[in-house]
């Protein structure tokens, strides 16, 4: 599995802590981690609006399989990611949230609150969140006897989202202010992750056009 970590300006100083915990959990499973957002306050400036664009490009191009993101409350990043086709982002405050989202909703992104309640022992909570998010087979249901309706409902939700965003994916990107997209894709680490792993030539061509 390829996992992208993306953080915005308000919580960029915590990137090293979050990256360390995510990498520790991912390395045990031989997963790859790409730190594609801000690494500190002086890095390429991003807001939670940019995070949604970045996540959608990485997920829809199959450059990565999963996104770990967040902001001060986690709410803005979650809403931003869920605007986009193909991205199913859950809100996560504790390890139980991560486990239940994985088992019941089977999404491809998590948004964490990096300011609210992020105090003593915060790195332990973050590590336990990642352990639960990436442990076991996703979509097994909870409790297990509820698996069938939960899988069915998750599938229906994906169909509804596809219906309300029925335009061609690239058309949805072209409808966004190009200056927002350019800011979202200008980061050096984002570009390395995207261009090294992108599996969609049309999306790659679009990003290169934006950057030109």
Q: For the chain, which domains are there?
A: 2-211 (3.40.1400.10)
Q: Which two tokens stand for residue 132?
A: 């639960």
Q: Which two tokens stand for residue 21?
A: 């915990």
Kindly report the CA angle at 159 between 146 and 62, in degrees rounded to 5?
A: 100
* Mean pLDDT of all residues belonging to the chain: 95
- Give the rounded percent of residues in the chain with a pLDDT score beyond 70: 100
pLDDT tens profile 75-122: 999 999 999 999 999 999 999 999 999 999 999 999 999 998 888 899
pLDDT tens profile 166-184: 678 999 999 999 999 999 9
Place of tokens 């090293």: 16
- pLDDT of 137 > 90? The answer is no
> pTM of the prediction?
0.94
Kindly report the CA angle at 121 between 117 and 126, in degrees rounded to 5?
A: 75
Q: Which two tokens stand for residue 148?
A: 């069938």
């Amino acid at each position: 599995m390829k996992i992208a970590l993306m953080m915005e300006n308000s919580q960029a100083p915590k990137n090293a802590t979050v990256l360390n915990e995510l990498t520790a959990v991912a390395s045990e499973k031989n997963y790859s981690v790409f730190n594609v957002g801000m690494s500190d306050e002086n890095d390429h400036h991003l807001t939670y609006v940019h995070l949604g664009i970045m996540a959608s490009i990485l997920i829809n191009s199959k450059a990565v399989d999963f996104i770990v993101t967040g902001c001060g409350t986690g709410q803005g990043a979650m809403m931003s990611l869920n605007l986009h086709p193909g991205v199913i982002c859950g809100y996560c405050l504790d390890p139980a949230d991560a486990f239940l989202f994985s088992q019941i909703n089977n999404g491809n992104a998590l948004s964490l609150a990096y300011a609210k309640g992020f105090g003593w022992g915060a790195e332990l909570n973050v590590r336990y969140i990642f352990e639960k998010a990436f442990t076991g087979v996703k979509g097994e249901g909870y409790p297990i006897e509820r698996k069938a309706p939960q899988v069915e409902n998750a599938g229906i939700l994906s169909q509804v989202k596809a219906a309300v965003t029925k335009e061609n994916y690239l058309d949805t990107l072209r409808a966004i202010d190009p200056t927002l997209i350019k800011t979202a894709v200008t980061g050096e680490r984002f570009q390395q992750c995207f261009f090294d792993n992108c599996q969609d030539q049309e999306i790659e061509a679009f990003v290169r056009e934006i950057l030109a």
